[in-house]
Amino acid sequence: MEKSVLVPIAHGSEELETVTIIDLLRRADIKVTVAGENDMVTFSRGVRIIPDILLSEVPEYENFGAIVLPGGGQGVDNFLEDDHLLEIVKYNIRKNNLICAICAAPLFLTHHKLIDESVMITSFPDMGEELNHKNYSEDDVVVSGNFITSRGPGTAINFTLKIIETMTDMKTVRRVAKEMCYKY
């Protein structure tokens, strides 16, 4: 599996999830590209982050080992309106790459019909009904085929460690967890 990850960010994305994803993946020596809708993105609680690149500059047919969508209600609403992001995700699904979504972000997958009912997913608890997905779990992290989903900020570490495990190996997961004094 390609060891590169795209993390799109938009106004209103959830900062704890986003920073956890970026930080842990980089600790695992995975190349992370943070792609924002603007030169500076303001998150759900006012934190501002400068992305590596504008999302509009990411080629629609770029192959990533994984695409990881952080949650945050407003951020996900902005993702839903972004046709360019949709094309990037569709291309990577066709390439059987890992597609990961946490909190409200699984809505991007169901809204655009990117997964069928056989894929088990989870999300932020309040999102369950809105997702309108038959195969729904209340587990913290769910792996189903090439999809990994998770509940929210409190599950972001385990979510990201599962992505690392899928992209690398348990030795890398244990190293990253140990560096953070985290038991996994």
**What are the catalytic residues?**
103
Q: Is 178 helix (H, G, I), strand (E, B) or coil?
A: helix
Quick check: 63 and 2 in contact, CB under 8 A? yes
Query: Which strands form 141-144's sheet, in the order they lie side by side?
Result: 53-54, 31-36, 4-9, 66-69, 98-102, 147-150, 141-144
Q: At what angle do helices 156-167 and 170-179 cross, to 10 degrees?
A: 140
Distances (CA, A) of 169 to 56, 181, 182: 32, 19, 17
